[in-house]
Amino acid sequence: MIETEMIERVARVFYEAEWNTALVPFEGETKEFAMTVARAAIEAMREPTPRMMTAFHDVCDPYGQCDWKKGWQAMIDAVLKENP
């Protein structure tokens, strides 16, 4: 499995939320499972929602110039603020 920085970052957050990290190390089958879940979660976010697109557009200036980092963060913030 190809590992990337972001996939591993998400996998570690999942791992820390699901397992007692003092007892279950982030390696072997545990790491492989966490990486699979992280990859699936990231893939599910691949197609932005209308709210995400609006949030990105809202951080652009009146001329359509956008700071990509601010846009990305605005899109993620929009997801985290959504009500279930």
38 with 12, same domain: the answer is: yes
- How far is residue 68's CA from residue 10's CA, in Å, rounded to a whole number? 21
What pLDDT is attached to residue 20? 87
9 with 40, same domain: the answer is: yes
Q: What is the mean pLDDT of each run of 10 residues along the chain (84 residues)?
A: 83 92 92 95 94 94 90 94 76
State the residue range of the domain holding 71.
50-81
40 with 64, same domain: the answer is: no
The Cα angle at residue 66 between residues 63 and 68, in degrees rounded to 5: 170
Number of structural domains in the chain: 2
> 0.85 cut: is pTM over it?
no
What pLDDT is attached to residue 63? 87
- How far is residue 31's CA from residue 35's CA, in Å, rounded to a whole number? 6
What pLDDT is attached to residue 3? 65
The residue type found at 42 is: I
Say which residues have a Cβ less than 8 Å from residue 70's Cβ, sequence separation at least 6: 59
Sign, CA torsion 25/30/36/41: negative
40 with 54, same domain: the answer is: no
12 with 35, same domain: the answer is: yes
